[in-house]
Structure 1
Amino acid sequence: MPGRELEFDYNGATSDISTPKVLQELLARADVRINGPHPWDIQVRDARVFRAVLLKGSLGFGESYVDGHWECSDLAGLMTRLLNARLDEAPRGLARVFHGFHELRNRVCNLQSVRRAFHVGERHYDIGNDLYAAMLDAHWCYSCGYWSQADHLDAAQEAKLDLICRKLQLEPGMKVLEVGCGWGSLAHFMASRYEVEVHGITVSREQAEMAAERCAGLKVAIELVDYREVRGRYDRIVSVGMFEHVGHKNYRTYFSSLSDCLAPDGLFLLHTIGTEHSASGLDPWIDRYIFPNGELPSMPRLTAALPDGMVIEDLHNFGPDYERTLLAWWQNFQLAWPKLSSRYDERFARMWRYYLLSCAAFFRSRRGQLWQMVLAPVNRAEAYRSVR
């Protein structure tokens, strides 16, 4: 049934499992109990979950879920409570050491260098077009929809695509660079609806092939290349859901490289997830199993990286729309699971459920934001008018 979660066996939790006191105290801060009566409570099926959490923190917590060591009927509700209580910021014991090394690694190493640029494409975006075809909307948008006047996923994603085009003030014949073109959703929309010429780049082979196929016959060129290698001059530049893979060590290079490609009267729209913390890297579980080497920008880091001569014309935050988008993806995944299960196993289903619903909680708790920022050269002659 639509909206119903994949069936998992919540029976068999051992009622006499002894929970370490430190974990009981932490969970109590979020009003979460072990084997409690609420839908957001954790139902323990294997006591190894406690050791995993104490040793590896949030990484161990997620791995234990995928291993089937615990269950929760309202996983998004549980994760929202944990995030609201900021338990992810309070690892204890050896988990604190583990998280410290994870943070140090991300601070010291440039995990988003040119050499590593294609890792996320291979590890996430190339895992199977059948999965994304089933989960996403008709346009194949893998980023936040715009739900202001939409009541279903297809409408929300089309509204997002058109909002971007209107913010960019596209006119027929313009040359547009799309950095991180995905499966060609925006490139196709811009070229077919606004009659512009699009150069789309991506680090995913599967995405590049699909985008080129979908945009055949339009003035769209798709290239498998890193943003640091792009040359040319463009009237407009747009990047949707790609900046999360750039990393703070490369922010200045990102903006300076792309601003060099922008015409003096051009506009640059950046669409990215953001957060209030200037942290390094992602949650360890998300980093290992979903988006390797990713990093969410904070506004101070983002704005500090803007080159001289580039101004912010508009800033739009519609972070709450991402929760609704993620829940729509999860519903689509559930409906498609009978067919997908012939290729993906139950562990993958648990991993994908944990990914989508914990990310929904990230936005529900307001720890995550969704920013659309319009940038322009300071000497651009035409005044910019914000679009909503």
Structure 2
Amino acid sequence: MHSSSSISSDTLLCSETPLYRHMVDLLERADIRVGGDRPWDLQVNTPEVFDRIGSHASLGLGEAYMDEAWDVPRLDEFFYRLLRSRLHREVQPLRLVLLGLRQRFLNLQTIRRAWQVGEVHYDLGNDFYTAMLDSRMTYTCGYWREANTLDQAQEAKLDLICRKLDLQPGMRLLDIGCGWGSLMGFAAEHYGVSCVGVTVSREQAEWGRERYRHLPVEFRLQDYRAVDERFDRIASVGMFEHVGRKNHREFMQMAHRCLAADGLFLLHTIGKNQRHSSTDPWIDKYIFPNGDLPSCGQIGDAADRLFVTEDLHNFGADYDHTLMAWHANFEAAWPRFRAQLGQRFYRMWRYYLLSCAGAFRARDLQLWQWVFSSKGVEGGYHRIAG
């Protein structure tokens, strides 16, 4: 870290540059002050911060934070203001344009590449995720309508899914991207169904097999494209973000092929507000390689002539609460992992959780649950949804 005297002298030098003044002016439009005393104000530790942001946009911003070049006490509030103001759209270097073109024209989520996110992110370690998540290891948005704790919110979300699917004893449920098996375990315990889940994470599959060995729950280390059998119900919770726009249609065709004629399919996914946009490069490099958030239009295109949309529910604001709960758990558990993972990982993970919380708070990101049927529910889906 820099001493207070070096910070002030470096900042004085860089404040003379047009780029510095431009960045300061932009941030002030989002009610963020450089060197201010509010929890969301930016503290500059090294003078090249704005050069890195100007050259690499969000990637430069995130890497500079990981390198301790700047600090903000409340990152979630910083990103809420930044994203709510839409000022991030005014810093678009050429490399970001090229990334968008790469995602638009190349398939970055082939079967071979699909396993990378499991190895990089989900196989980080079950001990780590046990410390951060709820008791069921549910790594998706909770439902906070009547919940006060993370465990309550996640159980409410799992029950909401089961009710939307109208699960009945004896049914067979496919969970595409099953994670550690929280939905399958809950559905088997409370609704009397048997379950098959597919995942690209070895750590998740091993943990789930041990946790739910007493239930009719099967974990398969398998890409979703390889599934080819019939199920009464299908759910995919927090996995569609990894499918990629080049594969949306194939994903829907697989779900249609595997769903019983009178079945229901629930898709739970993070979404973006515009069709033509690229993945955040920092998230792509450090957190979720090859991720690609869908828009409503892209999901609708993928389901065209395959499914009837019975219900669409947005509770994206609940992801803010979920991420803040995960962050609180992460901070409390960090002393156990400090020696193993190190300070740069700490700043990276803190940046990930709090920047995402700010994005959902600003409504820059959404969380949707779609319910599909193959032919339309006779009499209307409201009879099931209540």
Query: C-alpha separation between the residues in 2 aligned to 1:12 and 1:370?
Result: 45
Show the counterpart of 1:3: none
Residue aligned with 1:291, SS: coil
Which of 194, 205, 209 in structure 1 is aligned with 2:206?
A: 209
Q: What one-letter code is carried by the residue in structure 2 that aligns with 1:286? A: I
1:210-225 aligned within 5 A: 210-225=207-222
Contact 1:256 1:307 in 2 (8 A): no
Show the counterpart of 2:289: 292
Structure 1, residues 154-174: CA drift from partner, whole Å, max 9, x if none? 000000011110111111111
Query: C-alpha separation between the residues in 2 aligned to 1:9 and 1:206?
Result: 40
1:362-373 aligned within 5 A: 362-373=359-370
Which of 135, 153, 162 in structure 2 is aligned with 1:138?
A: 135
The verdict on how the C-alpha distance between 1:170 and 1:273 changes in structure 2, with shifts beyond 3 A counting, is same
Structure 1, residues 283-313: CA drift from partner, whole Å, max 9, x if none? 1111110011101111111111104141011
Q: Which has the higher helix share?
A: 2
Residue 194 (structure 1) shift: 1.1
Which of 197, 200, 217 in structure 2 is aligned with 1:200?
A: 197
Show the counterpart of 2:316: 319
Indicate yes or no: 2:240 matched with 1:243.
Answer: yes
Show the counterpart of 2:28: 28
Residue 137 (structure 1) shift: 0.3
Query: C-alpha separation between the residues in 1 aligned to 2:213 and 2:306?
Result: 37
Show the counterpart of 2:333: 336
Structure 2 segments unaligned to the other structure (5+ residues): none
Structure 1, residues 222-253: CA drift from partner, whole Å, max 9, x if none? 10111111010000000000000011111111
Moved more, 28-37 or 109-118: 28-37
Residue 342 (structure 1) shift: 2.9
1:270-309 aligned within 5 A: 270-309=267-306
Query: C-alpha separation between the residues in 2 aligned to 1:205 and 1:326?
Result: 24
Which of 177, 181, 184 in structure 2 is aligned with 1:184?
A: 181
Show the counterpart of 2:41: 41
Residue aligned with 1:198, SS: strand
Show the counterpart of 2:146: 149
Q: What TM-score, normalized by structure 1, do the two folds share?
A: 0.94
Residue 383 (structure 1) shift: 3.8
1:47-58 aligned within 5 A: 47-58=47-58
Q: What one-letter code is carried by the residue in structure 2 that aligns with 1:35? A: G
Contact 2:256 2:306 in 1 (8 A): no
Residue aligned with 2:260, SS: strand
Contact 1:280 1:295 in 2 (8 A): no
Q: What one-letter code is carried by the residue in structure 2 that aligns with 1:344? A: L
Query: C-alpha separation between the residues in 2 aligned to 1:356 and 1:102?
Result: 23
Residue aligned with 1:265, SS: strand
Q: What TM-score, normalized by structure 2, do the two folds share?
A: 0.94
The verdict on how the C-alpha distance between 1:291 and 1:309 changes in structure 2, with shifts beyond 3 A counting, is closer
Q: What one-letter code is carried by the residue in structure 2 that aligns with 1:60? A: G
Identity %: 51
Query: C-alpha separation between the residues in 2 aligned to 1:140 and 1:38?
Result: 35
1:255-270 aligned within 5 A: 255-270=252-267
Residue 368 (structure 1) shift: 1.0
Query: C-alpha separation between the residues in 1 aligned to 2:103 and 2:336?
Result: 38
Which of 346, 356, 359 in structure 2 is aligned with 1:359?
A: 356
Residue 280 (structure 1) shift: 4.2
Query: C-alpha separation between the residues in 2 aligned to 1:106 and 1:180?
Result: 22
Residue 12 (structure 1) shift: 6.7
The verdict on how the C-alpha distance between 1:12 and 1:242 changes in structure 2, with shifts beyond 3 A counting, is farther
Query: C-alpha separation between the residues in 1 aligned to 2:58 and 2:3?
Result: 21
Show the counterpart of 1:70: 70
Show the counterpart of 2:347: 350
Alignment size in residue pairs: 378
Residue 10 (structure 1) shift: 9.9
Residue aligned with 1:260, SS: helix
Q: What one-letter code is carried by the residue in structure 2 that aligns with 1:372? A: Q
Contact 1:275 1:297 in 2 (8 A): yes
Residue aligned with 1:277, SS: coil
Contact 1:163 1:387 in 2 (8 A): no
Structure 1 segments unaligned to the other structure (5+ residues): 1-7
> What RMSD over aligned residues (CA atoms) do the two structures have, in Å?
1.7
Contact 1:266 1:380 in 2 (8 A): no
Moved more, 372-381 or 52-61: 372-381
Contact 1:67 1:347 in 2 (8 A): yes
Which of 7, 12, 15 in structure 2 is aligned with 1:14?
A: 7
Contact 1:13 1:43 in 2 (8 A): no
Moved more, 50-59 or 349-358: 50-59
The verdict on how the C-alpha distance between 1:247 and 1:206 changes in structure 2, with shifts beyond 3 A counting, is same
Query: C-alpha separation between the residues in 2 aligned to 1:308 and 1:133?
Result: 41
Query: C-alpha separation between the residues in 1 aligned to 2:2 and 2:231?
Result: 54
Show the counterpart of 1:5: none
Moved more, 98-107 or 195-204: 98-107
Residue 13 (structure 1) shift: 7.0
Show the counterpart of 1:387: 385
